[in-house]
Amino acid sequence: MPAVLDVASSTLINNVPYITAWSGELPIKTAVITTRRGIAYPRETIYDRDEHGVLWSAYGLRQGRGKPDFGKIHPQRQRRAMGALRCQVCGSPAGETQAGALWLLDREGVEGEFPSEGEVTTHPPVCAPCAGKAVTLCPTLRREHSLVRVKKPTIAGVHGVLHKPGYPYAVAGDKAYVSYDDPKVRWVLAGQLYAKLYGITPVSRKELAAVKSERLTLQQRLYASVAGVSFEVMHLDGDHQATLPQLNADTIRATIDTVLNSEPGPDLDLDNLAKAVQDLKGHLGLLMPMVAGVHPELVASVGRRLQYEPPDAHRYPACARQWAEESARTARQLLALACADEMTEQRHAGVEEGPGALAPGREARPHPPVDHASG
């Protein structure tokens, strides 16, 4: 198996966003007490509050230790990325143009026109290369997203757990968005900054094409590595389309049926078995990047299997048959995930081509943060 598989698999599976919390970065269990000025820690340090005096969740700083927890956001790194306009994926400065910083906003659960002036988000900006990676890896963004430039992002407040006075310890309540000019901010244990976005414009067609190119390049690189074909950097044609082997569900299903619905012998002789093995290898390579964000554990398992060449059907027919049957079942599972994702993406066709007319003055709806444990 080509060594590039390890590189491609790590790009898709182990490319952990900068703001993601790791299992080695446990929350520091600290009592939250009531004071006349709001909530506090019994023994605070200068790092426990931001410049507005808001108390923040205490987390360990051990990025890269343990396993990434994609359901949790590290409060301090999110705060740094949002406040300094750094990319939420790689942590480098988000590339700004005259039109502003690049923002990738998910649209899931949002009705009506989007995005609007004053849109609220807890997601920090992205740089152009990482926008393509984020769309490739995250199924939610693949289905529901808008890529925009924001000229005037304004840090407006925090998202966190709102507390009530209690003695001796404050009583934790619900999570809420609280602006810095709201007196209740003294009672919030912050987990993330949120920003209001003004001066929103769709990205240019050329820039959108570059992001799509980055997205498809990652997919093609992984496909090439597992399919055993040479990889070349993609070029866009006049319509800004990039080449990538297309998903042909009928062809894949036919290969699966050939392996699983036939008996050894005339229906699947050694030549046909050898062909099915090679076809399945290519099918898995095509399906893996399509569902990497949906089921990374399954994709990682397939990647480990494809690190080795499949058994030779003519020399080891029994082993080849077993490999083909296991791979056919896996391909069936990956195909179901890929088709479900593609159907959803088709229902939202045109989303990637940029948002429609903006609606200045419409009341902004906060997007639910990806953090399930802020505060």
Tokens representing residue 72 in the block: 């949790």
Most confident of 2-11, 50-59, 104-113, 203-212: 50-59
Q: Which of 193-197, 205-209, 333-337 has the lowest mean pLDDT?
A: 205-209
Judge contact between 183 and 167, C-beta under 8 A. no
- Average pLDDT for 134-144: 59
pLDDT at site 240: 33
- How many helices (H) and strands (E) the chain has is answered by 9, 11
Give the C-alpha separation, 23 to 4, whole Å.
28
8 A C-beta contact, residue 142 and residue 6: no
Confidence band of 215 (pLDDT split at 50, 70, 90) = low
Q: What is the pLDDT of residue 308?
A: 79
Q: 109-123, 187-201, 354-368 — which one is most confidently predicted on average?
A: 187-201
**Would you tell me the crossing angle of helices 296-305 and 317-347 to the nearest 10 degrees?**
150
What is the rounded CA–CA span in Å between residue 172 and residue 184? 13
- The pairing of beta strand 38-40 with beta strand 171-179: unpaired
Residue 134 has pLDDT above 60, yes or no: yes
Between 305 and 350, residue with greater pLDDT = 305
Average pLDDT over residues 216-226: 48
- Burial level of 37, CB count in 10 A (0-12/13-18/19+)? exposed
Q: How confident is the model at residue 89 (pLDDT cuts 50, 70, 90)?
A: confident
Task: Please check whether residue 20 is in contact with residue 226, taking contact to mean a CB–CB distance below 8 angstroms.
Answer: no
- Per the CB < 8 A criterion, the answer to whether 164 and 187 are in contact is yes
pLDDT at 302: 81
The confidence score (pLDDT) of residue 347 equals 43
| Rounded average pLDDT over 255-267 | 75
Higher-confidence residue: 354 or 173? 173
Share of residues in the chain with pLDDT > 70 (%): 66
pLDDT of 268 higher than 80? no
Buried b (16+ CB within 10 A) or exposed e, 307-330: eeebbebeeebeebbebbeebbeb
Q: Which residue has the higher pLDDT, 313 or 14?
A: 313
pLDDT higher at 9 or 126: 126
Question: Quick one: pLDDT at residue 74?
Answer: 92
Alpha carbon 258 to its chain's center: 35
Lowest mean pLDDT among 67-71, 131-135, 201-205: 131-135
pLDDT higher than threshold 50 for residue 223: no
